[in-house]
Amino acid sequence: MDVKKIEATGYTWTEGGICAAQGIRANGLNCGLNPDKEKYDFALFASDKVCESAAVYTSNKVKGAPILVTRDHMAKTGGKMRAVIANSKNANTCNANGVEIAEQMCGLAAGALGIKSEEVAVASTGVIGCDLSIEPFEKHIDALAGGLTYDGGHRAEYAIMTTDTVAKELAVTFTLGGKECRLGGMAKGSGMINPKMATTLNFITTDADIESAALQNALSEITKLTYNCISVDGDTSTNDMILVMANGLAEMQRSPRQMLY
């Protein structure tokens, strides 16, 4: 299927990372998975409004529990998401109760935010095959959610970094439908990167109004020219994804839905 094109008039680099878009709050902290208390390992970001969302997942035959749970939630809601909860240090992969832990993580975020569990995506990165307990997340979810701010993107980014030597964040502004819109993102990854949905965690938010089907078409196509062209060591990971969320808070005069042909 050809990607339906949406025309935007240029773009300008800006600040804010994942929180550049209107209505996005984020936070990160150390919940004890990483023994270095100065290194964050638990992240959350959330939208003030339900988002139209799209995702691409690792092509590895072995998929971590967070991938299975996020994919299921996306299917149940038709791509309508509100938040992402994530951790580093432990990939929650090849664990007997991995799916249960991932679902519980979503439930913790949903309870703290007052939303549905199915509206939460979950991501984990780190060592494969290590036991993971829900206890560290239960102990720290109130502090994590209570510390969400509209400028907390860097804290969330720091919490998903593993062997990364630099933070990976960017943001742009652009005009669409007669309104200024913002798009921001954060990512992690420095190893186990191979051209089969290059294996990193990637989260992108925008306040543009774009329906999930159009987002999915665009994301699936652009992945072929971007993430699937990246290689570091030829290894494909088990956990990694790209998730795009659009909340429409830019209140454009003309919806991109009407720009599709």
pLDDT tens digits for range 59-84: 777 788 999 999 999 999 999 999 99
pLDDT score of 143 more than 60: yes
104 or 130, which is more confident:
104
Q: In percent, how much of the chain has pLDDT > 90?
A: 69
Mean pLDDT, residues 43-54 taken together: 98
pLDDT of amino acid 163: 78
For residue 259, what pLDDT band results from cuts at 50, 70 and 90?
Answer: very low
Which domains does the chain carry? 9-259 (3.60.70.12)
The pLDDT tens digits of the residues spanning 234-254 come to: 555 677 889 999 999 998 754
Contact between residue 14 and residue 228 where contact means Cβ atoms under 8 Å apart = no
8 A C-beta contact, residue 253 and residue 178: yes
pLDDT band at 199 (very low <50, low <70, confident <90, very high): low
pLDDT digits (tens, 9 = 90+) for 6-40: 455 588 999 999 999 999 999 999 999 999 999 99
Q: In this structure, how many other beta carbons lie within 10 angstroms of the beta carbon of residue 114?
A: 8
Spatial contact of 209 and 248, defined as CB atoms under 8 Å apart: yes
Q: What residues are annotated to the active site?
A: 199
Each residue's pLDDT tens digit, 144-157: 999 999 999 999 99
Q: What is the pLDDT of residue 210?
A: 93
- The pLDDT of residue 189 is 73
Q: Which residue carries 């798009």 as its tokens? A: 183
- Helical ranges in the chain per DSSP H: 65-77, 98-113, 135-146, 153-160, 212-225
CA 198/CA 178 separation, integer angstroms: 34
